[in-house]
Structure 1
């Protein structure tokens, strides 16, 4: 039984990492050891689970179905074993978080160094992506999302700033050349630098002032996928290519330096900050419990209003 569980864990590690070498880095087991474990599992089941090439590893249909069922099951087993971790003087183990790129850039830098210093026996792994995934199936303990993206059966804990704004800005030279918008609808006559989510949905340009909400769908010379290419929007705006809308904290260094000038600031949309979320139907691993306690202890008093839940 122990050997079978080890082979199953090896398969999950390789499938999630999409390769034997990356799986080896995550697990600490050699690539050849993982390969042999997967071969034993395939021989035992009588089906191929992975298509192997010299450049990649791809799940077969049988492999996909097995991974879908194994991911949550192994997570539950890890959580059950982790109960003993709570009896240690200091929690230890791995904490895996799935977060959007904006959270990795704007929220976690103020939290992670202090957390790592407080819990030196915990190793934190952060996967930053814009796709909305099942955190358990992805092998993660928790994620960070905004309230409109949270699933109903998730427990949500406030993390990071409780109020954020989308800021709109452009280089002063661009505004001198093309004029300064006085109303959000004026953006329809400007070169706007847009972002699109991996799902294909366009990033919304929404504005609000004294109860009036205005949504516009401008066009422009640059469209990037939100995530790793987001900084290209900012660089293009600083270079004078057009107007950009993004998290205020992302643009703040350029606003403070004067490289970007605020546009339509009285209309900037305010919205509730993000949440750390995790499944409420499973035991909470000790590293995650330590992280939750840490962000609660260091957080400002939470904002009142919709979308707030506690892990009661």
Structure 2
């Protein structure tokens, strides 16, 4: 015998408690005929009569009473489980897992994350810094942060952090005093340059644009690293010229440890985006974070 449909069992209990198809239908916001049909299906599947029906009353049979006695706690457990799921959906509690580039993890996300967590003490934020583009869902993340050129077309993107960033060129005063100041991107081919290697193994070319002219060079130098701290220390020590996110070198520029070079060739680009696959059935922590960054812009 096939198992009865849960909705038919629920309909039977509702009618038995109300002692009326019409009364149960009014409480449920459904038609009396749909409840009658559900009961017919259930009795046919079980092969026993569960309710005695007359024009004046509806009462459970002995089999019906036994079934109600066993079903009532079970249906209560199911209702409690569904309420628990709904509370997770509707309340901003749980864990939010984000995959973000290391530059964002270091210089953009910290103040945003701190304000968000202060506003949502029921949420735990797990952040993984990763400079390799991955399938965030397959890797177990709720969302990612990436720059515009790395966004998938079918993703929903929400701006987060500064809307314009810059790559800047900088060097230590001692280096420039010894080697001279480059004035054009091609001059960098004659200079020691500090370069960055991504986890994929790729060393990016340096690209410059001015007045519609784009120049891409592959410089050489004494250091290639995957660690920004090492690259910055080498530049401050006077080992070469670096081209990097402004956020990384701003404190050194402000202190004079590094000085700007070729400012008219500095390249601007769009700031990062939070991206995720769908607005449908979003986890509550992700929905709370999306809503937060939309109202937190400009701080």
CA drift of 1:260 comes to 0.2
CA distance in 1: counterparts of 2:95 and 2:112, whole angstroms: 17
Q: Alpha carbons of 1:190 and 1:153: their partners in 2 closer, same or farther (altered >3 Å)?
A: same
CA drift of 1:288 comes to 0.5
* Secondary structure, counterpart of 1:220 in structure 2: strand
Q: Does 1:256 align with 2:257?
A: no
CA drift of 1:291 comes to 0.5
2:271 corresponds, among 270, 273, 279, to 273
Deviations 1:180-229 (A, max 9, x none): 0010100000000001111222223111222222111100110112xxx1
CA distance in 2: counterparts of 1:290 and 1:281, whole angstroms: 12
Per the alignment, residue 104 of structure 1 pairs with 105
How do residues 1-312 of structure 1 correspond to structure 2 at under 5 angstroms? 83-88=86-91, 91-225=92-226, 229-280=227-278, 283-300=281-298
Contact in 2 for aligned 1:131/1:198 (Cα 8 Å): yes
CA distance in 1: counterparts of 2:167 and 2:244, whole angstroms: 5
Structure 1 consecutive aligned stretches of length 4 or more whose deviation exceeds 6 Å: none
* Structure with bigger gyration radius: 2
Contact in 2 for aligned 1:190/1:220 (Cα 8 Å): yes
* Secondary structure, counterpart of 2:105 in structure 1: helix
Q: Which moved more, 1:192-201 or 1:266-275?
A: 192-201
CA drift of 1:95 comes to 0.3
CA distance in 1: counterparts of 2:114 and 2:205, whole angstroms: 33
CA drift of 1:83 comes to 5.0
TM-score (norm 1): 0.67
CA distance in 1: counterparts of 2:279 and 2:204, whole angstroms: 32
CA distance in 1: counterparts of 2:235 and 2:174, whole angstroms: 10
CA distance in 1: counterparts of 2:171 and 2:85, whole angstroms: 50
* Secondary structure, counterpart of 2:220 in structure 1: coil
CA distance in 2: counterparts of 1:104 and 1:205, whole angstroms: 23
Q: Which runs of 5+ in 1 are unaligned?
A: 1-80, 302-312
TM-score (norm 2): 0.70
Deviations 1:145-196 (A, max 9, x none): 0111111211110000000000110000000000000101000000000011
* Secondary structure, counterpart of 1:255 in structure 2: helix
Contact in 2 for aligned 1:191/1:242 (Cα 8 Å): yes
For the aligned residue pairs, the C-alpha RMSD in angstroms reads 1.6
CA distance in 2: counterparts of 1:281 and 1:108, whole angstroms: 22
CA drift of 1:282 comes to 5.4
Q: Alpha carbons of 1:247 and 1:114: their partners in 2 closer, same or farther (altered >3 Å)?
A: same
CA drift of 1:138 comes to 1.2
Residue correspondences, number: 216
CA distance in 2: counterparts of 1:134 and 1:212, whole angstroms: 35
